[in-house]
């Protein structure tokens, strides 16, 4: 008796990748710059986004899509503290977003924006495996997590154009070597941009803002 084995995981990824490429092209045609933001829970994604949005909003029309298994706490918090458009995406237990879920959120938030931040589910594994169709991928690594994360979770660091090392105000209290962490990130992705920041105090946030301004102006997000 012969049994046929079907590689479902490969098929799922291939279908999603095709959908993601189509979505990325649609966004490019509309001049919408979509940033997929990933991190561990508690790394400071929401606080960082609030800081970035408030600094970038004089230059761009910005929206946020917040992905969580449940609750709308983050979407409400971002809307209240920035005044930007905010949509909550419930994943119903799933630990990641894919291109189809992302497109549903984009249909809800509308096309009249230059820059949209997609705050993915807090996880260093699943979100990195699925292409959301974003223009760029960004991750936030916080000092309390340790400087060895690029060694333990290679894919997310390989995938991300930008890594923000957050909570540098806590460096005196943790055994975290910033330069060693940078080396490990560059080992995974030599082209990655790395910016140590404190979303709490605002340290180095201007550098992160300039990074986004340059990316968007080159992309056409000023229109």
User: Is residue 65 classed as helix, strand or coil in its secondary structure?
Assistant: strand
Burial class (CB in 10 A: 0-12, 13-18, 19+), 49: buried
pTM of the predicted protein model: 0.92
The ranges assigned to domains in the chain are 33-208
CA distances in angstroms from 39 to 42, 44, 139, 140, 146, listed in the order given: 8, 8, 5, 5, 13
Q: Can you list the alpha helix ranges (DSSP code H) found in 115-203? A: 126-129, 149-152, 154-159, 178-188
Q: What is the pLDDT of residues 132-189, one digit of tens each?
A: 999 999 999 999 999 999 999 999 999 999 999 999 999 999 999 999 999 999 999 9
Q: What is the pLDDT of residues 108-132, one digit of tens each?
A: 998 799 999 999 999 999 999 999 9
What is the CATH architecture assignment of 33-208? Answer: 3-Layer(aba) Sandwich (3.40)
Number of H helices, E strands in the chain: 9, 7
């Amino acid at each position: 008796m012969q049994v046929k084995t079907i590689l479902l995981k490969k098929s799922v990824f291939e279908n999603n990748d095709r959908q993601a490429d189509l979505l990325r092209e649609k966004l490019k045609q509309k001049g919408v710059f979509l940033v997929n933001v990933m991190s561990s829970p508690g790394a400071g994604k929401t606080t960082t986004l609030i800081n970035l949005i408030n600094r970038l909003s004089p230059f761009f029309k910005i929206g946020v899509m917040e992905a969580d298994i449940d609750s709308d706490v983050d979407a409400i918090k971002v809307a209240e503290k920035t005044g930007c458009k905010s949509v909550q995406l419930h994943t119903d237990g799933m630990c990641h977003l894919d291109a189809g879920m992302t497109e549903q959120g984009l249909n809800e938030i509308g096309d009249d924006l230059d820059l949209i931040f997609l705050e993915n589910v807090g996880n260093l594994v699943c979100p990195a495996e699925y292409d959301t169709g974003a223009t760029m991928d960004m991750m936030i690594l916080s000092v309390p997590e340790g400087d060895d994360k690029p060694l333990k979770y290679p894919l997310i660091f390989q995938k991300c154009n930008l890594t923000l090392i957050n909570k540098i105000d806590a460096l005196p209290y943790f055994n975290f070597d910033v330069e060693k962490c940078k080396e490990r990130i560059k080992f995974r992705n030599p082209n990655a941009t790395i910016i140590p920041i404190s979303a709490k105090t605002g340290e180095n946030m201007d550098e992160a803002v300039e990074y986004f301004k340059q990316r968007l102006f080159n992309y056409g997000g000023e229109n």
